[in-house]
Amino acid sequence: MKTLTMDINGECNLNCEFCYQELDGNILNNSQIFDIMREKMDFDVVELGGGEPFLHKELDMIIANLIKLNKKINISTNAAFIPKAILNLEKSLRNNVTMQISLHASNKDAYESIAGYDYFDNVLKNTGILKQLYKSSFNAVIYNKNFNQVKDILSIAYGLGMPIRVSPVMPVGRGRNIEKLSEEQINLLKGALLLEKINGKEIYSPLIERTNCPALNESYGISGAEPCSLKLGKKEYINQKGETFGCEFIRR
C-alpha cells in the first residue's frame, strides 16, 4: 500500500515543545487537495495532519472527496476538541477513516508542560467519543522529559482499549531544541516495548520494527534490516504549502 501524508494546515490549538512542523498559518484547501490527488491517484492511503486538522473548516468535504476517489484516510489529531462535522459524518464515510490521537503525557501537569495547554481531560473524554465512531489509536512521542511516563501512558491506552504507537522525537523543527533520548534510554525503551508486544499488547514502534527508517538512523543511529516505504517508493509527504518531500522528517 502506498501512503501519501499531507499536512493540510499550519495552524494548531496546542504549542508542543517538540513539534516538527512550521506553524505558519498556510492551509491546503479542498480544491488544492483535489488537484494534488489527481496527480497522486496511485496512493492508497492518505494521512491528514497539521498543525491540527480538526481546525480545517473543509475537513468533512476533504474526507468525502478523498473517499470518492477510493482512498483510505488516517487523521492525526490532538483531540482537544471535536468539530461537529466529524461527529455528524455519515457512517459510510466514517468506515473509511481512522483516527490517530496524540497522547504524550500521563497526567494534567505533564500534558500542559509539553503541549502548553491544559487539555488532558478533554483529550481522554474526546478519545472515548471518537473510538465509538471511528477506528482509533494513540500516538505517543517520547523524549527525555516524558521518558519516565511511558509505563503510565501505556496503561491509559490499555485501559481505554486503544492500540498505541510509540516513537522517539525526531530533531526537526522545535524538536532540535529539546533533550532527546540518550542511547541508554533508547535501549531501555526498545526492551520495554518489545516485551509489551510479546505479551500481546497492541503496540507499534519504529524502535522494534525491522524497517530501516532513514530518519531514525540519522537521528539516533538506529538501523533495521528492511528498507522503509520511502526507499520502496511507497511514501510521499506534502506540507501545508504544497511542497513535496519524501518524508516529513527528512526534507531535502
Nearest one of 94, 116, 103 to 76, comparing CA atoms: 103
Decide if 252 is inside a domain.
no
Decide if 107 is inside a domain.
yes
Nearest one of 59, 57, 53 to 12, comparing CA atoms: 53
Does the pLDDT of residue 186 top 70, yes or no? yes
Tens-digit pLDDT profile for residues 55-78: 999 999 999 999 999 999 999 999
β-bridge partners, 49: 7
Decide if 202 is inside a domain.
yes
Residues 95-101 have a mean pLDDT of 98
For residue 228, give the CATH number of its domain: 3.20.20.70
Tens-digit pLDDT profile for residues 3-43: 999 999 999 999 999 999 888 999 999 999 999 998 999 99
Q: Strand 97-102's sheet: what is its strand order?
A: 203-204, 164-168, 135-142, 97-102, 72-77, 45-49, 3-7, 235-238, 244-245
Number of domains the chain contains: 1
* The pLDDT value given to residue 252: 62
Whether 208 contacts 197, CB under 8 Å: yes
First to last CA, the chain: 24
Decide if 250 is inside a domain.
no
* The pLDDT value given to residue 185: 97
One-letter amino acid for residue 214 of the chain: P
* The pLDDT value given to residue 42: 92
Helical (H) or strand (E) element with 166:
strand 164-168
Q: Which residue has the cell 496503561?
A: 155
Tens-digit pLDDT profile for residues 218-248: 888 888 767 787 766 778 999 999 999 988 8
Phi and psi, residue 86, nearest 5° = -75, -35
Q: Is 99 strand, coil or helix?
A: strand
Decide if 226 is inside a domain.
yes
Whether 181 contacts 189, CB under 8 Å: yes
Does the pLDDT of residue 148 top 70, yes or no? yes
Residues 194-222 have a mean pLDDT of 90
Decide if 45 is inside a domain.
yes
Domain that holds residue 185: 3-245
What confidence category does residue 119 fall into, taking pLDDT thresholds of 50, 70 and 90? very high
pTM: 0.94
* The pLDDT value given to residue 233: 72
